[in-house]
Amino acid sequence: MAGRVLVGVKRVIDYAVKIRVKPDKTGVVTDGVKHSMNPFCEIAVEEAVRLREKKLMKEVIAVSCGPQQCQETIRTALAMGADRGIHVEVSGKDYENLGPLQVSKIMAALAKKEEASLVIVGKQAIDGDCNQTGQMTAALLDWPQGTFASEVSVDGDGLKVEREIDGGLESVRIKMPAVVTADLRLNEPRYATLPNIMKAKKKKIASVKPADLGVELTSRLEILAVEDPPQRQSGVKVESVQDLVTKLRDSGTL
Amino acid sequence: MRLSAVQSAYTRPTNVANQSLSSRATAHSNAIGRAAYFQGTPSRRAKTAIFLIASDKRRCFSSAQCNQAWLSPGVCAVLKAWLSPGVCAVLKACSQAEPRHAAWLSPGVCAVLKAWLSPGVCAVLTGTAMALRSAAARLLTCNGRGVALTAARTQSTAAPQKDSDGKLRQAVKKPKVQFDWKDALELEGQLTEEEKMIRDTFRTYCQDKLMPRILMANRNEVFHREIVNEMGELGVLGPTIKGYDCAGTSYVAYGLIAREVERVDSSYRSVMSVQSSLVMHPIYTYGTEEQKQKYLPKLARGELLGCFGLTEPNHGSDPGSMETRARFNPSSRTFTLNGTKTWITSSPMADVCVVWAKCEDGEVRGFLLERGMPGLSTPQIQGKFSLRASSTGMIVMEDVEVPEENLLPHVTGLAGPFGCLNSARYGISWGALGAAEFCFHAARQYTLDRVQFGVPLARNQLMQKKMADMLTEITIGLQSCLQLGRLIDQKKAAPEMISMLKRNSCGKALDIARQARDMLGGNGIADEYHVIRHVMNLEAVNTYEGTHDIHALILGRAITGLQSFTVGK
């Protein structure tokens, strides 16, 4: 029952970089800033590769949407063990407006085109923190979804997914084809070994345009402004509870 | 002479991409005009000034910088009609805003100008002052000589000019290149994508897995043998070897790997260098196919740990006079080795030793010794205050019988060990700079955080000077190592190049580490801040694989043709 796994990887600003807001407040400075693969996407790739190594899946395809630099991110996925890559070319204004809805449409189209049995993505990206792409993809494909997965195992013709929810852990059994979103404790991503990095050079990355997939990229959202959070003000120390109540009343909070 | 120099200086137009052919010609004539300006008589200067002002306008049509926007041909004609040469020169000085031209604008001259300049002229001039913004306006108020001297660069507030097509051209500003102190000469752009990926992956491994161990490993003098297996899994042992389960990358990638490991500790990089360049390399280069098949895959995975035996207690810089002897026994087809090697990295735990011994014909040859051979012992060297996180010892051979198959057949003489050492030295050139980088970054962060006398230490000039020196040496060093790596990959490198860079990197890194230790003050001697560990380690790194002075002699011989290793010759 070995099928294809489609893994979505996103190129984001590296988690260790200090973010700066652009002076015109339209976004965050990205020029010359170090980028890398979204950590949750790394976990997703690792899970996909492990499934292939256990012979439960036969091929891992890494997908990324964005400008030319996304190919580096796909290369990293290939170095971790993915078999081939697909780069969906989106640049300029389209890329600035690219959100979960557009990406999920692209993923859905690719999942159908590549006849994938499983789509794994990270639960959220560390720049947008939307936590929507996986869920929207499942909805567009009308496939079951196992989100916030902390454990995935194949169970007959379906998957058993252990989900991390607010109350604890939830086990669900979903039929394949399905969409899974990876949470932090799903696995620990491997370091790409040198021989694999060298082999990744030879693996293919296909380029497609969203139009080829029949996906329209107009965004329904408009970013009005991006600002720094307000500077933290210093607090005031009070001597007694009475003082505290008085102060709260004076400031109108009570 | 002067004229041609000025000409040549000016005939390089600044905005070549934006300038059409005609404007470039104009620029050229400007050059001649400007040159003539320096030489001619006052009246000629004035005429030249007008010509230049007029021609500047033509140039500004196509040039991106519209400084003289207001100088239409009409205005020029008007000005020409009733302005005296002196005033023209004033305008010229304004438009160029070069202080030395206006040295003659004494308060007296200003007064004269003010006296006979009609209101109309003043209006024109003040009007244009909006465009010129600086010198003209201030000149009219006649603040004296200082005005023109302090004239700021003219900036145009005029509307964007339409060029000959009638298309609107924006004043194009070139994006300012940001200086990155972490990568001052943009090494990043000189690496291939693969090399960057290798470096980034390995850097993550080193920071995540090696850095947490090193504090205690160094303090308690513990060698974590499992590191060799971990590195083997990543494929960084013997990375330049092709086949035999090795990665087969470029030498530049090898250098980048060494730099990342040594950023954590020189001991770990020593172990990696020994395994890759001093054990796997000689087997790969000088060994038989059977030896390669037997040893290389296991060494690559880190299952076997190797060591390299060349140095002896009485023969360090002078390996040619070694006392270790290998005697051939024709009856058993074995060699009997006798002798002692010292300062051997990894020897106490090594499974295989590459030992160099002198045979009966006086030639040095290499032998593969395995742990367990009778007569072979590897005592540890105690009381070491450098490279404490790796295990260093001796190789003592008392009538060790080595089978004939364990001889490395394809090399004779010192060319063998030196070939290996060159490969290791190259890795060290990169590595030492990694250690230097760590010390530099640590010193920078510490001096930014620590406040004395109300300001961070980094505010002080002495600190900044030290950091500037560190940045310069590291940046230049890395560039030279990159070039060397590329030459080695193209098989165009000579051993003296490697000597030069090993010596430079180690010497400079040791200085940087010592400076950084000093900048950290009292905290600099605590191993929690890590810098003192690098200071200790770099003492050994500066010494092994050819001391600083020995490499100087190698270079001296290459420079002069005269060897200065021995006396009396």
pLDDT at site A93: 87
Instruction: Kindly report, residue by residue over A31-51, the tens digit of the pLDDT.
Output: 888 899 999 999 999 999 999
CB proximity B252 to A under 8 Å? no
The percentage of residues in chain B with a pLDDT greater than 90, rounded to a whole number, is 68
Cβ of B235 and A75 within 8 Å? Answer: no
Closest to B17 measured CA to CA, from B172, B183, B199: B172
* Residue A15: closest CA among A184, A230, A233: A184
In the predicted model, is pLDDT for residue B200 greater than 90? Answer: yes
Is residue B505 within 8 A of residue B432, CB to CB? The reply is yes
Residue of A36, A195, A201 with shortest CB distance to B235:
A195
Q: Determine the Cα angle at B232 with ends B227 and B236, to 5°.
A: 105
Q: Do A194 and B198 touch (CB under 8 A)?
A: yes
What pLDDT score does B100 carry?
47
Query: pLDDT for B151-190, tens place per residue?
Result: 434 444 555 455 555 455 555 566 788 899 999 999 999 9
The yes-or-no answer on residue B221 being catalytic is no
Q: Judge: A195–B247 Cβ closer than 8 Å, yes or no.
A: yes
Which residues, listed in sequence order, are joined to residue A199 by a DSSP beta bridge? Answer: none
Best of B234, B246, B257 to mutate (most A CBs within 10 Å, chain A) = B234
Is pLDDT at B436 greater than 70 in this prediction? yes
Please tell me the predicted confidence (pLDDT) of residue B116: 53
Give the residue with greater pLDDT, A44 vs B12: A44
User: Is pLDDT of B199 > 70?
Assistant: yes
Distance (Å) of CA B305 to CA B272, B290, B392, B453, B544:
10, 18, 13, 53, 20
| Mean pLDDT calculated for residue range A160-170 | 95
Confidence tier at B139 by pLDDT (50, 70, 90): very low
Note whether B193 contacts A: Cβ–Cβ < 8 A: yes
Judged against a pLDDT cut of 60, whether residue B120 lies above it is answered with no
pLDDT range class, residue B126, cuts 50, 70, 90: very low
Q: In what order do the strands lie in the sheet with A205-208?
A: A168-175, A158-165, A145-155, A178-182, A118-122, A3-8, A57-66, A84-89, A205-208
pLDDT of residue B377: 96
pLDDT score for B328:
96
Asked whether the predicted pLDDT for residue A206 surpasses 80, the reply is yes
The pLDDT assigned to A235 comes to 84
ipTM: 0.84
Q: Helix, strand, or coil here: B312? A: strand
- Give the one of A32, A75, A194 whose C-beta lies nearest to B239's C-beta: A194
Residues of chain B contacting residue A196, judged by C-beta atoms under 8 Å apart? 235
Enumerate chain A positions whose Cβ falls within 8 A of a Cβ in B.
32, 36, 72, 75-76, 79, 191-198, 200-201
Q: What is the mean pLDDT of residues B393-400?
A: 97
**Distances, alpha carbon B521 to alpha carbons B159, B271, B446, in Å:** 58, 31, 10
Q: What is the pTM of this model?
A: 0.76
CB spacing of A76 vs B198 below 8 angstroms: no
Least confident of B21-30, B296-305, B359-368: B21-30
Chosen for mutation from B196, B197, B209 (greatest number of chain A CBs closer than 10 Å) is B197
Ranking A169-183, B43-57, B233-247, B259-273 by mean pLDDT, the lowest is B43-57
